[in-house]
Structures are given as C-alpha cells and as structure tokens.
Amino acid sequence: MPRIMTAFKSFAQIFVNIGDALSFFVEVFGYVIRGRIRVNEVLKQMYEQGIQSLMIIFLTSMASGVVLGLQGYVMMVRFGAKEYMAQMVALTLVRELSPVFTALIFSGKAGGGMTAELGTMGVNEQLQATRTMGVDPIEYLIVPRVLACVIVLPILAVFSEVVGIFGGYLIGVYQAGIPSAFYINQTLKSIGYVDFFSGMIKIFFFAIVVSWVCCYQGYNTKGGSLGVGRYTTKAVAYSYIFVIVSNTVLTKVILAVWG
C-alpha cells in the first residue's frame, strides 16, 4: 500500500508540474501579446545567445557537411549517380540535420546558460529583489530571453545550412571532381520553398520549446548551488528529448501535408 501511494503521488506530481509549466508559458505569452517587451534586453540577449553558440555551430555544421559529402560520394559512385551528390547533401541539411543539430547545440550551450543564470538569481534571491523594486521578473528576465531565442535560433539554423552545404561543396568539388558551377547549380535547383520552410517551421517550434523549458527550469530552481546544477542538467536533458520527439512528429505532419 505505501508503494502504491508513493507511485500515485509521483504520478500526480507530474501533472502538477505540467500544469505549472503550461501556466508559465501562458503568462510569458500574455506579456508578448500585450506588447510588454523590453527591446534593449531582447537585443542584449540576442547578442549573448548568438555569440555563445556561433563557433560550435560552425564547427558542427562544417563537419556534418564534410561527412555527408564523403558518405554521399562513396554511395553515389557505387550506383553511378555522382552528379546527385549536391542534392543529397543540401536536402539532408536543410530539411533535417541543420534544424535538429542547431537546436540541440543551442540547448546545451545557450539554453543551459540561461537556466544556470536564472537559477543563480533565484537561489540568491535576486528574483525576489526585482519584485520589491516594482519590476516583474517575468517581464524583465524571461520574456527577453524567450523572444531572443525565437529570433536567434532560426538565424543560426540558416547559418548552419550554409556552412554545411559549403562543407559538402568542398568534398564534391575537390574530391569527387564535380565542376564547381555544376555543383552550385544543382544545389540551388534542389532546394525548393517547401524544403526551406519545412526546416524553418521545425526550428521555430524548437526555439519555443527550448526557451520555454530552459527559462521555466531556471525560474523555478531551488536548493542552492547544487540545485542550480541539477535544474540546469534537467533543462538540457528535457530540451534534447522534446526536440528529438517533436522532430519526429513534425516530420510526419510536414510530409503528410506537403509530401
């Protein structure tokens, strides 16, 4: 019986946490709808989040493009279709790899940083101090971070796509021997509006999820310095899970609608 009660309490706590997270999201969204946005803070967060993630996204995207180029070259040569290598690299990056990799890297780098920063403010009672000064911490701290994430992450995804395609281009031209002009032309011809915007829809959704999860965990951090580390780990882990699961669902929906 005690085990049953413990399991029931744990199950009930999950629903309570989901309700709290949804309430937090609605509150943040309400501030945005009402136009209570501190533009200077948003710009500051855009700079910090973008610069934090830029170099690691560059390295990951370049490596992904090069690896795709190498693997594509081997497979395409085997089937006598080397000229289709550019299409394979471009579509794989634009539709799937760049949005997902960018969201995962951003979660671990900038998202974890947001959680740790907000969590440290919480355990040091800085969030309570802002209330005593008549400033709403949701408006001043959370809304700018969420909006900055929603703006910056799609830009980083496009940057990732360009860098990854360039990595594939290097392999295609200098190892596979494909003429440069032909490779570029095939790349541009292969990417349609559907391909580009399907990736943008995903990354926009990922941006909302990552900013929501990381800010919520940071805002509700408890337990001192140990709690900051624990909640930051939870935020990054939950972000990874939600990005991967939602990518599967979004891919199925997009293919069903657009084909």
Question: What is the model's pLDDT at position 224?
Answer: 81
Q: How confident is the model at residue 216 (pLDDT cuts 50, 70, 90)?
A: very high
Q: How confident is the model at residue 2 (pLDDT cuts 50, 70, 90)?
A: low
Residue with tokens 């002009």: 181
Residue (of 250, 147, 148) closest to 200 by Cα position: 250
Separation between Cα atoms, residue 217 and residue 231, nearest integer Å: 6
Average pLDDT of span 119-123 = 88
Q: Mean pLDDT of all residues in the chain?
A: 87
Question: What is the model's pLDDT at position 211?
Answer: 93
Q: Residue 101, exposed/middle/buried by CB under 10 A (0-12, 13-18, 19+)?
A: buried
**pLDDT 10s digits, 242-255:** 999 999 999 999 88
Question: What is the model's pLDDT at position 208?
Answer: 93
Q: Percentage of the chain surpassing pLDDT 90?
A: 40
Question: What is the model's pLDDT at position 134?
Answer: 75
Residues contacting residue 84 through CB under 8 Å, at least 6 positions apart: 76, 186
Q: Are 41 and 151 in contact (CB under 8 A)?
A: no
Q: How confident is the model at residue 123 (pLDDT cuts 50, 70, 90)?
A: confident
Separation between Cα atoms, residue 229 and residue 30, nearest integer Å: 29
Report the largest interatomic distance among the alpha carbons of the chain, rounded to a whole angstrom.
Answer: 73
Q: Measured on CA atoms in the order 233, 237, 243, 246, is the torsion positive or negative? A: negative
Question: What is the model's pLDDT at position 132?
Answer: 78
* Least confident interval from 3-7, 18-22, 109-113: 3-7
Q: Does the structure show a pLDDT above 80 at 99?
A: yes
Q: Which helix (H) or strand (E) segment is 133 a member of?
A: none
**pLDDT 10s digits, 129-151:** 887 787 788 888 899 999 999 99
**pLDDT 10s digits, 25-50:** 888 888 888 888 888 999 999 998 88
* Least confident interval from 76-80, 97-101, 239-243: 76-80
Q: Does the structure show a pLDDT above 70 at 102?
A: yes
Q: How confident is the model at residue 13 (pLDDT cuts 50, 70, 90)?
A: low
Question: What is the model's pLDDT at position 130?
Answer: 80
Q: What are the tokens at 213?
A: 């999860």
**pLDDT 10s digits, 147-175:** 999 999 999 999 999 999 999 999 988 88
Residue (of 207, 248, 214) closest to 232 by Cα position: 214
Q: Are 207 and 154 in contact (CB under 8 A)?
A: yes
